Amino acid sequence: MMRVVLLVAAALVALGAAGCRSDEQLAGADLSSQAYYCPANPPRGDEFTCEPTAIPYCTYPDLELTCSCVTVAGGRHALVCPADMAATD
């Protein structure tokens, strides 16, 4: 019995030393964010924020175009298309 109590106490100490994660950390990514999906049309410039682990690139077969999620100014990620193929108004 004493051995079990010591094992439980050691486990609690180890968990306390490792730290616990908050509910926010356990919640995961907000999959409703547009950053996790390709836009319907290719974006111009670096206006479309993307998540590189979710969408490393987006393809537009009708335009024979592939846009890539790359790091841009400020350290954020944006979907960038070849300049001469991006949608224009």
- Identify whether 65 is part of a domain: yes
Which helix (H) or strand (E) covers residue 74, if one does? none
- pLDDT at position 9 is 64
Q: Is pLDDT of 85 > 50?
A: no
- pLDDT at position 35 is 85
When the pLDDT of each residue in the chain is averaged and rounded to a whole number, the result is 78
- Identify whether 30 is part of a domain: yes
Domain that holds residue 36: 2-80
Q: Is pLDDT of 43 > 60?
A: yes
- Identify whether 36 is part of a domain: yes
Percent of the chain with pLDDT over 70: 58
Instruction: Domain count for the chain, please give it.
Output: 1
Which helix (H) or strand (E) covers residue 27, if one does? helix 23-27
pLDDT digit string, tens, across residues 61-71: 999 999 999 99
- Identify whether 27 is part of a domain: yes
- pLDDT at position 7 is 65
